[in-house]
Protein backbone atom coordinates (compact mmCIF):
# COMPACT_ATOMS: atom_id res chain seq x y z
CA UNK A 1 0.00 0.00 0.00
CA UNK A 2 2.93 2.33 0.61
CA UNK A 3 3.88 2.09 -3.06
CA UNK A 4 0.29 2.82 -4.06
CA UNK A 5 0.48 5.90 -1.82
CA UNK A 6 3.66 6.94 -3.64
CA UNK A 7 1.74 6.66 -6.90
CA UNK A 8 -1.03 8.80 -5.41
CA UNK A 9 1.55 11.40 -4.41
CA UNK A 10 2.84 11.44 -8.00
CA UNK A 11 -0.71 12.11 -9.17
CA UNK A 12 -1.01 15.06 -6.78
CA UNK A 13 2.30 16.46 -8.03
CA UNK A 14 0.92 16.25 -11.58
CA UNK A 15 -2.24 18.11 -10.52
CA UNK A 16 -4.33 14.94 -10.68
CA UNK A 17 -6.67 13.64 -8.00
CA UNK A 18 -4.28 11.66 -5.77
CA UNK A 19 -5.24 8.04 -6.25
CA UNK A 20 -2.65 5.32 -6.78
CA UNK A 21 -2.89 1.62 -7.50
CA UNK A 22 -0.52 -1.33 -7.79
CA UNK A 23 -1.24 -4.90 -8.86
CA UNK A 24 0.84 -7.59 -7.14
CA UNK A 25 1.43 -11.25 -8.02
CA UNK A 26 3.62 -13.39 -5.77
CA UNK A 27 5.07 -10.35 -3.99
CA UNK A 28 6.04 -8.73 -7.31
CA UNK A 29 4.48 -5.56 -8.66
CA UNK A 30 3.24 -6.34 -12.16
CA UNK A 31 1.32 -3.13 -12.76
CA UNK A 32 0.99 0.31 -11.26
CA UNK A 33 -0.70 3.56 -12.05
CA UNK A 34 -2.01 6.84 -10.76
CA UNK A 35 -4.82 9.05 -11.96
CA UNK A 36 -4.10 10.75 -15.28
CA UNK A 37 -7.58 11.93 -16.26
CA UNK A 38 -6.57 15.60 -16.55
CA UNK A 39 -3.31 15.17 -18.42
CA UNK A 40 -4.68 12.54 -20.82
CA UNK A 41 -8.08 14.27 -21.12
CA UNK A 42 -9.54 10.81 -20.56
CA UNK A 43 -12.28 10.13 -17.99
CA UNK A 44 -11.28 6.46 -17.88
CA UNK A 45 -7.63 7.13 -16.95
CA UNK A 46 -8.13 6.15 -13.32
CA UNK A 47 -5.27 4.61 -11.33
CA UNK A 48 -6.92 1.19 -11.23
CA UNK A 49 -7.56 1.07 -14.98
CA UNK A 50 -3.97 2.05 -15.77
CA UNK A 51 -2.59 -0.49 -13.27
CA UNK A 52 -4.83 -3.26 -14.65
CA UNK A 53 -3.71 -2.47 -18.20
CA UNK A 54 -0.04 -2.52 -17.19
CA UNK A 55 -0.48 -5.80 -15.30
CA UNK A 56 -2.29 -7.45 -18.22
CA UNK A 57 0.53 -6.39 -20.55
CA UNK A 58 3.09 -7.70 -18.09
CA UNK A 59 1.37 -11.09 -17.89
CA UNK A 60 0.33 -11.06 -21.55
CA UNK A 61 -3.09 -12.08 -20.29
CA UNK A 62 -6.19 -10.10 -19.38
CA UNK A 63 -6.97 -12.54 -16.59
CA UNK A 64 -5.14 -11.31 -13.51
CA UNK A 65 -5.70 -14.51 -11.56
CA UNK A 66 -4.24 -14.74 -8.04
CA UNK A 67 -3.34 -11.05 -7.98
CA UNK A 68 -4.00 -8.41 -5.36
CA UNK A 69 -4.84 -4.82 -6.24
CA UNK A 70 -3.79 -2.19 -3.69
CA UNK A 71 -5.59 1.10 -4.25
CA UNK A 72 -5.45 4.17 -2.04
CA UNK A 73 -9.15 5.02 -2.37
CA UNK A 74 -12.16 2.71 -2.57
CA UNK A 75 -12.79 2.02 -6.28
CA UNK A 76 -15.62 3.67 -8.20
CA UNK A 77 -18.20 1.82 -10.31
CA UNK A 78 -16.04 1.77 -13.45
CA UNK A 79 -12.93 0.57 -11.63
CA UNK A 80 -14.84 -2.02 -9.59
CA UNK A 81 -16.19 -3.41 -12.87
CA UNK A 82 -12.71 -3.53 -14.38
CA UNK A 83 -11.33 -5.29 -11.29
CA UNK A 84 -14.14 -7.85 -11.52
CA UNK A 85 -13.62 -8.40 -15.24
CA UNK A 86 -9.86 -8.79 -14.83
CA UNK A 87 -10.43 -11.54 -12.25
CA UNK A 88 -8.22 -10.15 -9.48
CA UNK A 89 -8.33 -12.29 -6.36
CA UNK A 90 -8.27 -9.51 -3.79
CA UNK A 91 -8.67 -5.75 -3.51
CA UNK A 92 -7.09 -3.85 -0.64
CA UNK A 93 -8.04 -0.19 -0.37
CA UNK A 94 -7.13 2.71 1.88
CA UNK A 95 -9.81 5.30 2.52
CA UNK A 96 -13.49 5.04 1.72
CA UNK A 97 -15.09 7.13 -1.01
CA UNK A 98 -18.45 8.30 0.30
CA UNK A 99 -19.50 9.74 -3.09
CA UNK A 100 -18.44 7.07 -5.57
CA UNK A 101 -17.17 4.04 -3.62
CA UNK A 102 -18.61 0.76 -4.85
CA UNK A 103 -17.16 -1.79 -2.45
CA UNK A 104 -18.55 -0.54 0.82
CA UNK A 105 -19.38 3.16 1.07
CA UNK A 106 -21.91 4.17 -1.57
CA UNK A 107 -22.73 0.75 -2.98
CA UNK A 108 -21.55 -2.79 -2.48
CA UNK A 109 -21.47 -4.38 -5.90
CA UNK A 110 -19.51 -7.42 -4.77
CA UNK A 111 -22.33 -8.73 -2.62
CA UNK A 112 -24.33 -9.27 -5.81
CA UNK A 113 -24.30 -13.06 -6.02
CA UNK A 114 -25.11 -13.06 -9.73
CA UNK A 115 -21.50 -12.28 -10.68
CA UNK A 116 -19.52 -15.28 -11.86
CA UNK A 117 -16.41 -13.88 -10.18
CA UNK A 118 -15.95 -11.94 -6.97
CA UNK A 119 -12.88 -10.84 -5.08
CA UNK A 120 -11.92 -10.54 -1.44
CA UNK A 121 -12.04 -7.02 0.00
CA UNK A 122 -9.94 -5.46 2.73
CA UNK A 123 -10.49 -1.79 3.48
CA UNK A 124 -9.03 0.82 5.77
CA UNK A 125 -5.35 0.07 5.17
CA UNK A 126 -3.32 3.27 5.72
CA UNK A 127 -6.67 5.04 5.41
CA UNK A 128 -5.55 8.15 7.29
CA UNK A 129 -2.61 8.70 4.95
CA UNK A 130 -4.75 8.22 1.85
CA UNK A 131 -7.46 10.52 3.20
CA UNK A 132 -4.87 13.16 4.11
CA UNK A 133 -3.51 13.16 0.54
CA UNK A 134 -7.02 13.76 -0.81
CA UNK A 135 -7.85 16.42 1.77
CA UNK A 136 -4.61 18.34 1.18
CA UNK A 137 -5.06 18.15 -2.59
CA UNK A 138 -8.59 19.55 -2.54
CA UNK A 139 -7.75 22.23 0.04
CA UNK A 140 -4.95 23.41 -2.26
CA UNK A 141 -7.33 23.36 -5.23
CA UNK A 142 -9.87 25.52 -3.43
CA UNK A 143 -7.18 28.08 -2.50
CA UNK A 144 -6.03 28.49 -6.10
CA UNK A 145 -9.48 29.18 -7.52
Q: CA angle 56-16-132, nearest 5°? A: 100
Q: What are 34's strand-pairing partners?
A: 20
Q: Per residue of the chain (145 residues), give pLDDT as tens.
A: 999 999 999 999 999 999 999 999 999 999 999 999 999 999 999 999 999 999 999 999 999 999 999 999 999 999 999 999 999 999 999 999 999 999 988 888 887 768 888 999 999 999 999 999 999 999 998 887 6
Supply φ then ψ for residue 118, to 5 degrees: -135, 165
DSSP state of 110: G
- The verdict on whether residue 46 carries a ligand-binding annotation is yes
Positions marked active-site: 48
User: What is the number of alpha carbons within 13 Å of residue 121 lying toward its C-beta?
Assistant: 21
Predicted TM-score of the model (pTM): 0.95
Which domains can be identified in the chain, with CATH numbers? 2-137 (3.40.140.10)
- The verdict on whether residue 79 carries a ligand-binding annotation is yes
Amino acid sequence: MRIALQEAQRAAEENEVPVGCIIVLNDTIIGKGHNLTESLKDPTAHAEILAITAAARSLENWRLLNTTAYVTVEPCLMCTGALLLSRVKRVVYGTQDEKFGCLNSRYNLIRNLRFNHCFEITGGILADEAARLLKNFFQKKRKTR
